[in-house]
Amino acid sequence: MRGGARTGAGRKPAGHDKKNQRPLYIPDALYESIMEKDIPGCQSFSQKCEVLLNKAIWTEAIVTVQPPRASAGGKLRFIDLFAGIGGIRQGFEDNKTVAVFSSEWDKYAVETYKANYGDVPYGDITKIDAFDIPSHDVLLAGFPCQPFSNIGRREGFAHTTQGTLFFDVLRILKHHMPKMFLLENVAGILSIQDGVAFKTILASLQDIGYNVFWDELDAQNYGLPQVRRRVIIVGFHPDLRVSEFELPKGNQTFRRPVKEILEKNLSGYDISEHLQKSYLYKKDDGKPQLVDENSDIQVKTLVASYHKIQRLTGTFVKDGPTGVRLLSELECKRLMGFPDSFIVPVSRTQMYRQFGNSVAVPMIKAVADAMKAIY
């Protein structure tokens, strides 16, 4: 009896879709991104492509996280990773740009971000597929500084940086290949592991095709009364053909004195007289740094642990009922270059953490303006 067209005839079960071989031409970076994905039951490129294509077609996964806004109107689309309270966005965003995606895991920072931008950032970026992030022209990220020279070898990862949060920046760049990126980090990244980490970062960005430029910049050169050194890394897609780019160093001759941003006769930020005697002035070593309405200096870097009243790293104001107080909310905004109108809906402790973890807004704006001029 012939098999013919009867149900169940032949070697393959009824309803089995016939598969045909078809050529697929994609960039090397996209191929690597696909092969790095851990998809249960899939080992080959073909198997992984089939699963990912089905996911995109049937679940519309590419746009379910946060689709691009209805009309970009020719504006630069950007994404904001490790967004914090939106300091980098504050410096980059203008009437010619539009945010299409943001990510931040800290719930208090999310609260502040939402209050000021109207967007609720998505959570842990390590759990968000690059396919689910909207297309964009610019990637912004203030990624945490982490050592990773041995992580890849120890865990058997496909890339040296895998297992760190920089890897998530890299995988998103590889997948979307935006026209530009701007990354920010602490100056300490230059020396961590004797410079190995930073060299790995630069090499990784260059390996995926970007022309990369960087510099160490200081907030006091951009009109802020604060010494705050940060490393800025900028990258341009090879299509833009940017062979030279100098990050703007600001005005290195003008220094804004801290006295210009201080409030007077404040209460509620007081440091008790007991704590002053028992801790702040326990040694006659010129610490902590104290400022008042006559101070022409630029203060120390505002740190995330400022609320702990640390005598070695903190700057305090000679003012208030007890004679010495913490910096006020408004003074923190001004130290970092945020507008006075910036909304802070969180506790004072969280407020200090958030501003201490953020960026010098005018410095970011100067770099962003130089990038936009090229684009």
pLDDT digits (tens, 9 = 90+) for 302-325: 999 999 999 999 999 999 999 999
Confidence label for 196 from pLDDT (cuts 50, 70 and 90): confident
Q: Are residues 342 and 204 in the same domain?
A: no
pLDDT in tens, 260-284: 999 999 999 999 999 999 999 999 8
SS (H, E, C) the chain: CCCCCCCCCCCCCCCCCCCCCCCCCCCHHHHHHHHHCCCCCCCCHHHHHHHHHHHHHHHCHHHHCCCCCCCCCCCEEEEEECCCCCHHHHHHCCCCEEEEEEECCCHHHHHHHHHHHCCCCECCHHHCCHHHCCCCCEEEECCCCCCCCCHHHHHCCCCCCCCCHHHHHHHHHHHHCCCEEEEEEEHHHHCHHHHHHHHHHHHHHHHCCCEEEEEEEEHHHHCCCECCEEEEEEEECHHHCCCCCCCCCCCCCCCCCHHHHCCCCCCCCECCHHHHHHHHCCCCCCCCEEECCCCCCCECCCCCCHHHCCCCCCEEECCCCCCCECCCHHHHHHHHCCCCCCCCCCCHHHHHHHHHHCCCHHHHHHHHHHHHHHC
Q: Are residues 179 and 52 in the same domain?
A: no
Q: Is residue 289 part of a domain?
A: yes
Structure tokens at 23: 């050529």
d(CA 164, CA 61): 25
Q: Is residue 5 part of a domain?
A: no
Q: Are residues 172 and 318 in the same domain?
A: no
Catalytic residue among 42, 49, 145, 332: 145
The type of residue at 213 is F
pLDDT higher than 70, residue 4: no
What is the domain-level CATH number for residue 150?
3.40.50.150
Q: Are residues 245 and 368 in the same domain?
A: yes
Q: Are residues 145 and 210 in the same domain?
A: yes
Q: What is the pLDDT of residue 62?
A: 37
Encode burial over 260-272: b for 16+ CB neighbours within 10 A, e otherwise. ebbbeebeebbbe
Q: Answer whether 292's CB lies under 8 Å from 318's CB.
A: yes
Among 25-34, 56-65, 199-208, 361-370, which stretch is predicted with the lowest mean pLDDT? 56-65
- The domain tally of the chain equals 3
Q: Are residues 286 and 137 in the same domain?
A: no
Q: Answer whether 78's CB lies under 8 Å from 136's CB.
A: yes
Q: Is residue 21 part of a domain?
A: no
Active site annotation includes 42: no
Q: Is residue 44 part of a domain?
A: yes
Task: Tell me the average pLDDT across 86-103.
Answer: 97
Q: Which domain holds residue 54?
A: 28-59
- Of 7, 36, 59, the position where a domain reaches its end is 59
pLDDT higher than 90, residue 160: no
Q: Are residues 214 and 334 in the same domain?
A: no
Q: Are residues 168 and 316 in the same domain?
A: no
Q: What is the pLDDT of residue 56?
A: 62
Quickly count: other Cβ atoms within 10 Å of residue 187's Cβ.
Answer: 15
Q: Is residue 11 part of a domain?
A: no
Q: Is residue 53 part of a domain?
A: yes
Residue recorded with tokens 């100098």: 246
230, 76, 125, 167 alpha-carbon torsion, rounded to 10°: -60
d(CA 363, CA 274): 39
For a pLDDT cut of 90, what percent of the chain falls above it? Answer: 68
What is the domain-level CATH number for residue 335?
3.90.120.10
d(CA 82, CA 12): 49
Q: Answer whether 55's CB lies under 8 Å from 64's CB.
A: no
Q: Is residue 352 part of a domain?
A: yes
Q: Is residue 8 part of a domain?
A: no
The type of residue at 283 is K
Q: What is the pLDDT of residue 17?
A: 56
d(CA 98, CA 117): 11
Q: Are residues 197 and 320 in the same domain?
A: no
Q: Which residue has the higher pLDDT, 195 or 329?
A: 329
Give strand pairing partners of 183: 141, 233
Q: Are residues 326 and 367 in the same domain?
A: no
SS (H, E, C) 267-282: CCCECCHHHHHHHHCC
End-to-end CA distance of the chain: 71
Structure tokens at 113: 């971000």
Q: Are residues 206 and 104 in the same domain?
A: yes
Q: Are residues 78 and 227 in the same domain?
A: yes
